[in-house]
Amino acid sequence: MATQRMLVAMLTLTVALWGGPLWSAEKDPGASIKIAPETVADYVHAVIEADRIFYTLHVVERMQAHGVAAASENWRVSHTLPLPAQFLKESGELAAITGARIQYRLIGLWPINPQNAATSDFEKKGLEEVRAHPERPYTGVLTLGGNKYFQAVYADRAFAQACIGCHNAHPRSTKQDFKINDVMGGVLISFPLE
């Protein structure tokens, strides 16, 4: 349900970004309302964060506290819950296949999963910037394959014990002293401007 809600919100925002009418202005039925890419990214990030926080606090931590189910890295094989980072990864992959042309994923300076490492200078710079200034995203417009993309990196903070417990204890973690509210990495959001 949360993933469906997130996909509907992202599709609506993508239509708005492309300049399609979200609703008609009362005085000019032919007018459309356009939304700045920074605002679209903020909306998408808000939905991603809300769903992830809810999943972490009200599913993973609650189920583990009551001994109902555990979350683990190998959740598909062990029939456990996905870790919150895997929840975001899986929902990002689902969003990408909807045709909405929006992508999002976790990136980190100290990733446990090598797939979450920064892959471009923009991502590396974005991670450094949100680490220094977590209250604001690092944004830019990049040209890839002749197309322009808006990209934003938002600080990914340790908001629950589940976050820091996993990272501080994981044998592949290169940083094991996270505390609540520390910046652990970033959420990268990318969508086309054309």
Segment 64-101, tens digit of pLDDT: 899 999 888 889 999 999 999 999 999 999 998 988 88
Give the closest residue to 105 by CA, choosing from 113, 114, 116: 116
- Flag whether pLDDT at 121 surpasses 90: yes
Q: Which of 14-23, 29-38, 141-150 has the lowest mean pLDDT?
A: 14-23
CA distance 89 to 105: 6
- Flag whether pLDDT at 4 surpasses 60: no
CA distance 124 to 14: 26
pLDDT of residue 24: 39
pLDDT of residue 27: 62
pLDDT of residue 171: 84
pLDDT of residue 140: 97
| pLDDT per residue as tens digits for the range 41-61 | 999 999 999 999 999 999 999
pLDDT band, residue 26 (cuts 50/70/90): low
pLDDT of residue 30: 65
Q: Extract the tokens encoding 176.
A: 């094991």
Q: How many residues does the chain have?
A: 194
- The pLDDT mean for the chain works out to 85
Q: 103 by DSSP, 3-state: which?
A: strand
pLDDT band, residue 23 (cuts 50/70/90): very low
- Helical segments of 79-160, H only: 84-96, 121-132
Please count the CA atoms within 13 angstroms of the CA of 89 that sit on its side-chain side: 11
CA distance 94 to 50: 17
| pLDDT per residue as tens digits for the range 97-113 | 988 889 999 999 898 88
